[in-house]
Structure 1
Amino acid sequence: MTEKRIHKLRANAFFDLLRENSNEIITLSFDCEKNLVLPKVPDQSAYYSRQLYMYNFTIVQGSSKSKLTKDNVFSYYWTEEKFGKGSNEIAFAVFDRLNKIDFGKNDEQKILRLVADGCSGQNKNSTLIGMCSKWLVTAPLNVASIELVFPVTGHSFLPPDRVFGQIERKLRKREVIAMPSEYVEIFSESATTVELGQECRVFDWKTAVQEVLKPPGSWGFKFKECKRYFLKRVRSGNVVIRGEVNYKNDLGTFVGITKKGKTTRLIDPDEISSGNHQVKPLKLRDVATLLAKHFGEGWRALQDLSYCANVIPEQIENIETEEESHNVPDTTCEFIPELPAILV
């Protein structure tokens, strides 16, 4: 009972930070919506078939009490064959948003607060922290520090989830969705849409950060247990970090996280071209089979399925799985002599 009470108190402390509305604090909360399938069809076989994915990463500027409008809700979208869905994609979407925020006059001190769930593969990792460190070095001088806040497990309802709820209600009214533009049309009703690789440049933050920052295990505090991270600039042009395991107590100390002889300014990611993410051929074959079942063998000639026709090669139907290629009946026979009855 005591552990449960402490768990709830920590959850309330997290939401207190998310509700905080101050002129000195600029809050960004972000999250990924569940994978949206292409094609979306009312077919039972679609439940058992692999499908192509449309990704929607939403950023909301403002506290949890702020009204959701297209001016403070931003939807970054991309399809599976263009980019993956990991820490690198999250980092460059947040980086693009940070560069477009108006932080006001130089005499107005600001604290940037980033709030996200604790998914280590996307949000809570050195890639995102390294990107924030690089941005802070070149950020407006009135940005005093960056605070990254992560919720306790089971209490991660964020403002982007409200946006996802609006999108889901509209998606339920559409039985068939075969083009990414149909999803974008729905996104645009609730947010300002940005296509990754087209309307914003994409960088390889993950590789660049690993070359400059130490591994999180050598940062001087328990990285996984921390719920808050504070970043601030120092005179040398570098960035130091402090980790806190609680939401209200500040007990940690700032430490440097760059490798010997390197500074945060040296983080210089290379640009990534769109369409470099490889989709597994077997997955493409399953999607082609699903399209043939639902729309017929001539599905490639349909204008509404032009996206799938461009992504899926025509020869994909002939690809065999490894199990299928080895599933050849053995026709060789081997003579086994009859054993004596006493041995049997």
Structure 2
Amino acid sequence: MAYYNIVKRPRADGTARYRCTAGVKAGGKHLHRETRTFGKLAQAKTWGVKRAAELEENGVPNSSDIGKMTVGELLKRYINDPNLGGKAGRTKRYVLDMLLDCDIADALLADLSTNHVIEHCRHRNGAGAGPSTVNHDVSYLSSVLASVKPVYGIDYTANPATEARPLLLQMGLIGKSKRRSRRPVSDELDKLLVGLEARSGHIAAKIPFVDILNFSILSCMRVGEVCKIRWEDIDEKQKAVLVRDRKDPRKKSGNHMLVPLLGDAWTIVQHQPKTSELIFPYNSRSVTAGFQRVRNALGIKDLRYHDLRREGASRLFEAGFSIEEVAQVTGHRSLNVLWQVYTELYPKSLHEKFYALQGTNRTGK
């Protein structure tokens, strides 16, 4: 049975758009759906009535018909493909799901142009997304469009997302993310620990926020990694733990790495109760949310949980570890990022070493 429905969607500038979905259902299952977005309710209703009538008369269209497939339908096919969307990382999957709810998803694939891509980026920018965030939209959309012909056999070889990239860069709508150098300063960390201790002591709390925060710093692990390490992966002899599927831009899975648990990191692990196969059996989002609430209550600005990873690496450098040794803890495959951390910590270190080797003072006299 063919149908249509309309949903009002407010935009960031206060105006409204109307998304009309027309489709075919049978036995409680959706056999086909397609959407279009309009500026006026009357336009959306006119299209919905007409398209539902066409679907009722002609039935479900051929899914490989380039003339009728929308960008949204292609995105759904890609997302549901176990060899493509099924292997996408968390960020890519989030972006692809988000694109499904954007106006660009309503465009017919055959009609998709660089103008659609640029307008999407303008809208995202107007809604508050930064150039690096919008850049993800363009990159992942480009990868989906590149799959159309070789993977699905659809006669489509254009890639407006790639074609629009030079102009988007020129317009400042996309760009690389800015490298962060934020570390807790002054007594920020002490205040955070006190606040998190109080939060952990709440009658409804179950998360040992202080242990997790200290462990995150000492181990240089991402909070998602901390909440996934297992008791069975502990190496008692080497005082290390196997971190599974560690993040690597070149590989999405199988990046297991044995990470040494230095100093108090090992002690913190030993103190955890063995109530689960996980050492820290907590939702990483809940840990981050608790951190953010305490941080905000304290009025601490622009400090993210991920900055604690940098704090941990900086402490190792300050303790005298080499870049290669720090990489064994942080898991960085490329040493460039660690070089940046090191040089920001010690901008004058090379001069000092040079003068020390020359047996002169810092002025070279």
How does the TM-score come out when normalised to structure 2? 0.20
Determine which structure has the larger helix proportion and give its number.
Answer: 2
Determine which structure has the larger strand proportion and give its number.
Answer: 1
How does the TM-score come out when normalised to structure 1? 0.21
